[in-house]
Amino acid sequence: MELILDHVSHSYGDVTVLDDISLSVGSREIVCIVGPSGCGKSTLLRILGGLEKPDGGAALIAGDPPSDSLNPLTYVFQDFALLPWRTVEGNVSLVLEDHGIDRARKREIIADVLARTKLTEFAHAWPRQLSGGMKQRVAIARALSVNPAAMLMDEPLSALDSQTRDLLMDDLVDLWGQVGFSACYITHNLAEAVRLGHRIVMLSRRPGRIREIVEIDIPLAERANHPEETAAIQRRLWEAMRDEARAADRELSNVA
């Protein structure tokens, strides 16, 4: 299954936030979206997920999701979105409850995704007992439990400290090796984009237009072993967007 944005433009009142965006997210591909603050990254994700209708162009799905997919698309948010009155197991179970799955199969699915996300021993823990990184693992386990064709990830690691972020990036790479999920991944962090993206789409400052698409040939599982090459890609991305990032920050400060 492929997600497609076809010449998408969108405005809020008189402010144009996205202008003529065309891109795709293919099967087993992670596409990272980067760009200055306010350039429309999260709006793009909402349009891709069908939560918002663009003013121009279209968001399309080509092909079929896996036959055992319960939700073709699922979100992973920055703030984890866990229910504090449910355990880890209960939070994962939540998204399975309206699909007519019998109890034994549900237990099977939950056990599998908790094992994949290294949460088995925390199945009966409450969110208040978990670190930020563990909470995000629960959110990822919940997303994986419906076997989505693609995950829409809106800055999922931005609330975490740098050490936890690095560990979770490694976990996501391991998960991709096991599951082969597709993802559109929004981030401000260029190191994340270079670590996780098969392609990196750089947007201009508002209105967001595609400035450049960078393809990274180094396999995900090997990138940690190529620090010089990945650092060079990160520097090139920052040099390309630095001036616009500064201008965007000034614009937002003036609005505030």
> Residue 23 belongs to what domain range?
2-66+147-255
> First and final CA of the chain: distance in angstroms?
41
From the number of C-beta atoms within 10 Å of its C-beta (0-12, 13-18, 19+), residue 213 rates as exposed
Q: How confident is the model at residue 256 (pLDDT cuts 50, 70, 90)?
A: very low
pLDDT classification of 251: cutoffs 50, 70, 90: low
Q: Tell me, yes or no, whether 8 lies in a domain.
A: yes
- Per DSSP, the three-state class of 188 is coil
Give residue 158's pLDDT.
Answer: 86
Per-residue pLDDT reduced to its tens digit, 206-216 = 899 999 999 99
What is the C-alpha to C-alpha distance for residues 193 and 218, in angstroms, rounded to an integer? Answer: 13
Given a cut of 90, is residue 249 above it in pLDDT? no
Do 150 and 72 meet the contact criterion of CB atoms below 8 Å apart? yes
Is residue 140 one of the residues assigned to a domain? no
Q: What is the 3-state secondary structure (H, E, C) of 96-125?
A: CCCCCCCHHHHHHHHHHHHHHCCCHHHCCC
Rounded Cα distance between 104 and 36, Å, is 47
Total domains present in the chain:
1
Does 122 reside within a domain?
A: no
Q: Indicate which CATH number applies to the domain containing 9.
A: 3.40.50.300
List, in order, residues 6 or more apart from 55 with CB less than 8 Å away. 9, 10, 11
Pick from 68-72, 110-114, 143-147: least confident: 68-72
Question: Token match 């968001």: residue?
Answer: 59
Domain assignment of residue 80, yes or no: no
110: in domain: no
SS3 category, 91:
helix
Classify residue 168: in a domain, yes or no.
yes
**CA 57/CA 37 separation, integer angstroms:** 23
One-letter amino acid at 134 equals M
pTM of structure: 0.91
Confidence of residue 64 (pLDDT cuts 50, 70, 90): confident
- 121-164 pLDDT, tens digit each: 999 999 999 999 999 999 999 999 999 989 999 999 888 888 98
For residue 108, tell me if it sits in a domain: no
Taking CA atoms, 174 is separated from 97, 102, 160, 202, 212, in Å, by 28, 29, 19, 25, 28
* Residues 75 and 151: beta-carbon distance below 8 Å: yes
Distance CA 19, CA 35 (A): 14
Return the number of other C-beta atoms located less than 10 Å from residue 169's C-beta.
19
Indicate whether 115 belongs to any domain. no
